Structure 1
Amino acid sequence: MTKRIVQLLHFGYHQAMSCLFPVAIFGTLALSSMIQMPFLHRYDAILLILLGVQYLMYRSGLETRDEIKVICVFHVIGLVLEVYKVRMGSWSYPEPGYTKLLGVPLYSGFMYASVASFMCQIWRRLRMDMTGWPGLIPSMLLGGAIYFNFFTHHFIPDFRWWLTALVFIVFWKTRIIYRVRSVTYRMPLTLAFVLVGFFIWLAENIATFFGAWKYPDQHQTWQLVSFGKISSWFLLAIISVIIVAQLKHVKAGRKLTSPKNGWE
């Protein structure tokens, strides 16, 4: 029993350290909603603070240069999606700011980048690996289809649930291998997707409560974000894992192998 408690404490420590950047985001959102900064719009202040946090994490060694590159990729991916969604009326950023692009504050990309930051950190800290990876082409095609569905469902049918079914088929044999101290554990990748999607949904409720953005039904008074959004974050988690996994193994000079052999 004592050994299990020690293992759980070590696992919790690594999870907490991997969440430093997401915690910094939500802490900044909370404080900026209660404290007004003179001569500086809230959205602009959030951007400056988050840039400072990223710089400090890099200089302190909490994040590597390669992890910063991955975060930048996700920032761009998220910002493009945000601009499109705001234009389509899915949600809005009603407050003023100088650092807004087509109605979207530049800090918003960091909310997507925080997912990448967590993925990179937890991968390194728990010395993660995978078995049963479906391969580069199937995973990238599925990830691309999921990303584009976020755009296309506004004018053609939403294939979200078909794509979700494909995820379970394509990644059915994929297992995450992670290590806590000297013990190795395994988890189905699809279960990890569900857990990440659920916790991002919880974080989204915190973010909207503190005014990071507003859905149309939240302009008069704050309401709980629809449970249906969990599926969106579930699909976003898949894109995150696919990109991070591929970049990690490209960097290592290795290629993803067949489900039979796992990783090289």
Structure 2
Amino acid sequence: MTSSDLWSRETAERYDAGETETSSPAVLGPTVDFLAGLAGDGRALEFAIGTGRVGVPLRERGVPVVGIELSEHMAAVLRRKVDEDTLPVTIGDMATTVVPGGFTLVYLVYNTISNLLTQDEQVECFRNAARHLEPGGRFVIELGVPPLRFLPPGQVAVPFDVSERHLGFDTFDLVEQLLVSHHFSREGDGDGEDNGGAGHYRRAESRHRYAWPAELDLMARIAGLERERRVADWDGSPFTEDSGKHISVWRKPA
């Protein structure tokens, strides 16, 4: 098993409800268009497929999809949406687990490569992608750009969401290249103060290893892949110094 945090049954059961925005047609439409275009007439393999937020609609688009997922609880939620014959899922980690057959596309979305907490494991993830790709196939990663330029001297925390029902911020270990995402989510309709209202706040956190785009390019090179494209979002907008994330595509030489 890798160093990734293992998602619990409780987290898996509430995951989809917390991802309504990223599951909207405005987000999923361009995502599925982008991935389907790369898969072509071949098969796609999703590392860390989770509850099938992307894999299920990609399969509905007509692309045969296979998944690898570390959490049995997340896979159980996916299984309520689609059966095993339609979308097979293997329980295992994305750095070492191997599934049968070749793929024209392997993809890893929503910052999930950062769940691997060591550089060695992230390199192995690239190698595992290359292992599954047919010649000419592509590996795609969606990953945020570390917001370190927003850190004043001596500060280790950066907020990423301050809204009525959610407070989120990241704390950074700049020596080990690690971050912890902290979430305070409001539940119920009360004010949550002193437990006097119907609402309360649920706290959660997750650990990640952040990586720069250039570092990922080197990992790809180690795995025998060549960078083909880097954009700022699934709509293909240009990646610039102000981009908060990137979609990167590497190709296995024919």
Q: Same fold (TM over 0.5)?
A: no
| Structure holding more helix per residue | 1
Ranked by relative contact order (alpha carbons within 8 Å, sequence separation 6 or more), the top structure is 1
What TM-score does the superposition give when structure 2 sets the normalisation length? 0.25
